[in-house]
Amino acid sequence: MGPGGDGGVFELPVSEREQLRLPFCIEVPRVKWRLRGGGKETDADWSGTREEVFLDPPSLPGALALELKLPCSSGRVRVQLDDRQETWVSINGGRSEINLLQFMDTLGAAGLERF
């Protein structure tokens, strides 16, 4: 199987004693994400699952971003925090970056420190 793909083998009988084996792979598009801001990010930091992330505003670095790997090479993504605040960011080369510090006032006003 290739990276990001799921598959198996089709087995078709051709005679009583012989089967034709046809391997297949289905690529499943996925969105992956990671937080960037400490300067020591690696490829292992990418996640494809839903997770709660707690942020402590006083200890945040000067820049904090949510980086996305998307299954399309270009376009735009809308990021919305409930109905309070939204922003649009461009997708370039299958990647997009959202500045999370722009949401900190909204999160603080709502008493939230997680996404």
**How far is 89 from 93, CA to CA, in rounded Å?**
13
Q: Spell out, as residue ranges, where the chain has pLDDT lower than 70.
A: 1-6, 38-43, 55-62, 107-115
Within 10 A of 16 (CB to CB), how many other CB atoms are there?
Answer: 5
Parallel, antiparallel or unpaired: strands 95-99 and 65-69: antiparallel
Residues 42 and 20 in one domain: no
Residues 2 and 39 in one domain: no
61-83 pLDDT per residue, tens: 667 888 999 988 899 988 887 77
**How far is 64 from 98, CA to CA, in rounded Å?**
9
Predicted confidence at residue 63, as pLDDT, reads: 73
Residues 59 and 99 in one domain: yes
Look up residue 73 and give its two tokens: 């090479």
Question: What is the residue range of 4's domain?
Answer: 1-28
Predicted confidence at residue 91, as pLDDT, reads: 93
Residues 23 and 42 in one domain: no
Domain count, the chain: 2
Q: In sequence order, which residues have a C-beta less than 8 Å from that of residue 9 and are 6 or more positions away?
A: 21, 22, 23, 24
- pTM score above 0.85: no
Predicted confidence at residue 26, as pLDDT, reads: 82
Q: In sequence order, which residues have a C-beta less than 8 Å from that of residue 105 and are 6 or more positions away?
A: none
The neighbouring-strand residues paired with 33 are 47, 68
